Amino acid sequence: METAKPRVAIQGIRASFHEEAAFKYFGSDIQTIECNSFKQTFEALKNKQADYVVMAIENNIAGSILPNYSLLMSYNFPIVGEVYLPIQLHFLTLPGVKFEDIKFVISHPIALRQCVDFIDEYPQLKVVESNDTAACAKRVHDEQLTDTAAIANALAAKLYNLEVKERRIESNKKNFTRFLVLTSHENARQVKANKASLCFQVSNEVGSLAQVLNILAEQEINMSKIQSMPVLGRRNEYNFYVDVEWQQPQQYDRAIRQILKYTQNFNILGEYERYVEEIVNP
């Protein structure tokens, strides 16, 4: 039974980008369930300790998070929504700390890579990798580290009472991560969908994938993503993960009926409303 305040499982701790994405999708009136791994978020949903999972699936710079596609198949929870979050990174310290006193900068390895141009300007800074951007901000606060800066988001600065020494230090200002929203089958509601995530296999013959793509084109279905992953233990066999968007539901229904003839192990991972990003000035 879904509680009045949605319980949302995230990978990481409060003020992480996953929590920021959850706030963007649900609003701030949620109960965040902190998990150490993506698998743990699915276990929380499975064991009814959470009503939803918010999970990163791809970044427009770093690419797809491939292990998470395997989790989609393993647990088979329906995708009920998506949200795109701009990844904005800030240089955070304890209040009043002088820049020249900072010796260490800590963050997640990907966040550090995304801020390499800024970090390179200050060769005196020793870079220390850690497992989570928000956890780094929390550590600076909890341990009162006067010689250490964390790279994290504005949510972490606010929650852990840190000063934003330098704002928007990411090298690429158009850095977005796409997150999927999943729930249990009994909690999934019918929505006016215009996007779906599909998974299927095709025979290892010339033109077998092209047949599927041609059907989508004939029905004027836009394929916004395609991702292939090897089927474990099967040589030359692949799962294709495809995101499709449509204007008319009849076109989608016709396309699915026709695609079924040319695919094996066909799965609809979720039908949901496509996320429309509001215009944000960088």
pLDDT in tens, 190-216: 889 999 999 999 988 888 999 999 999
For residues 19 and 71, membership in a common domain is answered with: yes
Q: Which residues lie below 8 Å from residue 264, measured CB to CB, with a gap of 6+? A: 200, 201, 202, 203
- The enclosing domain of 17 has a CATH number of 3.40.190.10
Q: Which residues lie below 8 Å from residue 59, measured CB to CB, with a gap of 6+? A: 65, 87, 110, 175, 176, 177, 178
For residues 70 and 108, membership in a common domain is answered with: no
pLDDT digits (tens, 9 = 90+) for 31-83: 999 999 999 999 999 999 999 999 999 998 888 999 999 999 999 999 999 99
- The enclosing domain of 257 has a CATH number of 3.30.70.260
Residue 280 clears pLDDT 60, i.e. is over it: no
Residue 112 clears pLDDT 50, i.e. is over it: yes
Residue 282 clears pLDDT 60, i.e. is over it: no
Q: Where are the beta strands (DSSP E) in 120-237?
A: 126-129, 148-152, 163-166, 176-183, 195-201, 222-230
Q: Bigger pLDDT: 89 or 110?
A: 89
pLDDT digits (tens, 9 = 90+) for 19-40: 999 999 999 999 999 999 999 9
For residues 212 and 241, membership in a common domain is answered with: yes
Q: Is residue 31 part of a domain?
A: yes
The residues with which 127 forms a beta bridge, in sequence order, are: 105
User: What confidence score (pLDDT) does residue 133 get?
Assistant: 96
For residues 179 and 64, membership in a common domain is answered with: yes
CA pseudo-torsion sign 15, 21, 22, 24: positive
Print the domain residue range for 218.
Answer: 195-272
Average pLDDT rounded to a whole number, residues 231-257: 93
Residue 221 clears pLDDT 90, i.e. is over it: yes
Task: Write down the mean pLDDT value for the chain.
Answer: 94
For residues 24 and 160, membership in a common domain is answered with: no
Buried b (16+ CB within 10 A) or exposed e, 197-210: bbbbbbeeeeeebe
Q: Is residue 278 part of a domain?
A: no
Domain count, the chain: 3
For residues 79 and 96, membership in a common domain is answered with: no
For residues 18 and 79, membership in a common domain is answered with: yes
- Stated pTM of the model: 0.93
Residue 2 clears pLDDT 60, i.e. is over it: no
Q: What is the CA radius of gyration of the chain?
A: 21
Residue 279 clears pLDDT 70, i.e. is over it: no
User: What confidence score (pLDDT) does residue 278 get?
Assistant: 61
Q: Which two tokens stand for residue 51?
A: 């009503």
Q: Is residue 27 part of a domain?
A: yes
Q: Is residue 279 part of a domain?
A: no
For residues 28 and 162, membership in a common domain is answered with: no
